[in-house]
Structure 1
Amino acid sequence: MSIEPTSTIRVDVLAGHLGHLTESQKTAFATFQENLAKAQLYSPPQGQDEGGIISRPSHDEPTLLVALYEVMCRFVLPLCTYLPHRTAPTPISSVTTIIDLEQVTITSLWNWRRHLQEASTLATANYPETLSTIVVVNSPSFFPTAWSWIKPWFDEGTRNKVYVLGKDPGPTLRTLIDSRDLPKPYGGELDWKYEDEPFLDDAATEAIGSMPKGPAVFIDGKVEQAPSGSTSR
């Protein structure tokens, strides 16, 4: 009896995503970008500087906003759903966002207006109902005035999800977030600050080991990242 040799098929789990497109997909995407640029809905990247380094996009680039939402929807929310949680087996499909304005000036807030407007438009059009609550903490005295400028950019449903708190947000935040998961600066027990890497508890560490670097998705209890040099078939 002869045994046929087995073959290994390499599958790119990120096929169809930027950086993992086929030639026909690249052509279609380039045409799409050109059409957006003609409609003044997209600014092409500036290419390379004199040293040959690719210019980094600014924080205002809509591409970065899309990347953040994609990480949330394809990695963070599936991981949180997989981990033990009080509402299991109901999937976790929305997030609570804390916005800390402690170091913000009225000038910087005004300069962020385009970013905030783009974020609101993007979320409403493409990621509806992923936002559970927005909590603004350490709000300065001028924030009520600034909020009156910003409010029209958000639909009524989003505005109703915004809590504006002062210098002692702990009591309200603890009604929204478990104290052990709330960072100490905001009245919780978690020893974590903004500059730190994501904190993984025992269950999360067992599931993924450590936070992946680069594009990744969480599927069926596993982190999926495209191996270097892989192709889709």
Structure 2
Amino acid sequence: MSKNILITGASSGLGEGMAREFAAAGHNLALCARRVERLKTLRKELMAQHDVRVELRDLDVNDHDRVFEVFRDFTAVLGSLDRVIVNAGVGDGRRIGTGHFEHNRRVMETNLVAALAQCEAAVEIFRAQGRGHLVLVSSMSAVRGLPRSMTAYAASKAGLSHLAEGIRAELMNTPIKVTTLLPGFIRTELNEDADKMPFEVDAQTGSRAMVRAIEAEKTTACVPAWPWRPIGWLLKILPLRMIARYG
């Protein structure tokens, strides 16, 4: 059965990859991002290949009022939203105390405060409908505090994971489901210039793993599950001096 699925940050990377996977499965899409021209190109491709509906809106998730406006508009146009994927985020942090407060503030605001706005807008709609599926794209970096350029990013994703768990706890006995995704190293155009990372996978492989976990409505999923599930367990118990070598 087809669903109406909203994805933020859908113009590139994992958002774009998930849009392709969901369209191939026959789901209707509500895609939003700042780069609308990229969204238009993606819509043209998806509608040429699949019998689905694709609605687009421009959205900077740091414009919180606009988040509510766009989510409500998509609901009115499509009739309902079955799933909202809080995907928009940034990952290029800086070392703490090196004169980059504004940069790290933007990382925290985009990945956590803007995500809160998206969750508020989505759950408001789901409460009115009496059903829905909220998906938050966190990160394996949320498992531990990390040094160097990863500090602000990891902290923002840890906050996002706790936000998801709190919402899940409140809605546990309702028809509203909450999924937290913890992606490992997935190579996309956003990190294409970075050094090769251990256990990294390409964007298509990563997107497919994420969509499988979403469709299964898992509560929390490391993606891909192997090797990130055991790595996540290991990260939790490693001494901090070993974690300090990371980054």
Please give the TM-score of this superposition, normalised by the length of structure 2: 0.32
Higher relative contact order (CA 8 A, sep 6+): 1
Higher helix share: 2
Larger Rg: 1
Higher strand share: 2
